[in-house]
Amino acid sequence: MPRSNHPRGRRPGSDDSGDDETLDRMRAGWRRTEERRDGLWTVQPVTAVRATKSYVCPGCSLEIAPKTPHLVAWRADGLMGEAADLAGRRHWHNHCWRIR
Q: Does the predicted model carry a pTM greater than 0.85?
A: no
Average pLDDT, the chain: 83
Q: Do residues 52 and 79 touch, judged by C-beta distance below 8 A?
A: no
d(CA 41, CA 78): 9
Report if residue 13 sits inside a domain. no
> Beta-strand (E) ranges in the chain?
32-36, 39-46, 55-56, 63-64, 70-75, 90-92
Report if residue 23 sits inside a domain. no
d(CA 42, CA 25): 15
Write the pLDDT tens digit of every residue in 20-63.
555 555 555 588 999 998 889 999 999 999 999 999 999 999 99
Q: Do residues 50 and 27 touch, judged by C-beta distance below 8 A?
A: yes
Range of the domain at 87: 30-99
Report if residue 6 sits inside a domain. no
Report if residue 49 sits inside a domain. yes
**10 against 77, higher pLDDT:** 77
Report if residue 71 sits inside a domain. yes
Cβ-defined contacts of 23-28 (< 8 Å, 24+): none
Write the pLDDT tens digit of every residue in 8-20.
655 555 455 555 5
In this predicted structure, the answer to whether residue 74 has a pLDDT above a threshold of 80 is: yes
Report if residue 16 sits inside a domain. no
Report the number of distinct structural domains present in the chain: 1
Average pLDDT over residues 57-86: 92
